[in-house]
């Protein structure tokens, strides 16, 4: 499972590295049981640049699944770590739903529980 991290905010190198490490840990934890079905994950972080001076952070996570469509989640919040946590939880739930739908649509294999007459 490859995770790409793109920070568009000006937090400085140490802040970006710590946030990238946090995002990787959260995604590995949430998706480790389906890591064989995850091709790659792209995480983008940045500041919204609001007019009122609020420094909200956005997080866009896109997970590319093997044999299923990509799942994308966008989250906005005041704290970058909370935003990453919420987006990781949401993208894991969305990926699980998409993979369940793909697995349910797949016909059962001939060797699994089939009885020959």
pLDDT in tens, 9-22: 555 556 778 888 99
The count of domains in the chain is 1
Q: What is the CATH number of the domain that holds 48?
A: 3.30.160.100
Residue 90 belongs to a domain: no
Q: How far apart are CA 77 and CA 75, in angstroms?
A: 7
Domain of residue 30, residue span: 2-84
pLDDT in tens, 49-96: 766 666 788 999 999 988 888 889 999 998 889 999 999 999 989 888
CA-to-CA distance for 106 and 47, rounded, in angstroms? 41
Task: Please give the pLDDT value at position 87.
Answer: 94
Residues 6+ apart with CB under 8 A from 16: 5, 7, 9
Q: Is the pTM of this model over 0.85?
A: no
């Amino acid at each position: 499972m490859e995770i790409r991290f793109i920070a568009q905010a000006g937090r400085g190198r140490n802040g970006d590295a710590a946030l990238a490490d946090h995002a990787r840990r959260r995604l590995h934890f949430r998706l480790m049981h389906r890591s064989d079905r995850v091709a790659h994950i792209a995480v983008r972080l940045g500041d919204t640049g609001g007019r009122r001076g609020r420094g909200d952070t956005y997080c866009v996570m896109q997970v590319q699944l093997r044999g299923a469509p990509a799942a994308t989640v966008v989250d906005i919040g005041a704290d970058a770590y909370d935003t990453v946590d919420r987006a990781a939880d949401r993208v894991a739930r969305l990926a699980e739903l998409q993979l369940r739908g793909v697995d349910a649509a797949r016909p059962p294999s001939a060797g699994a529980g089939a009885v020959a007459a």
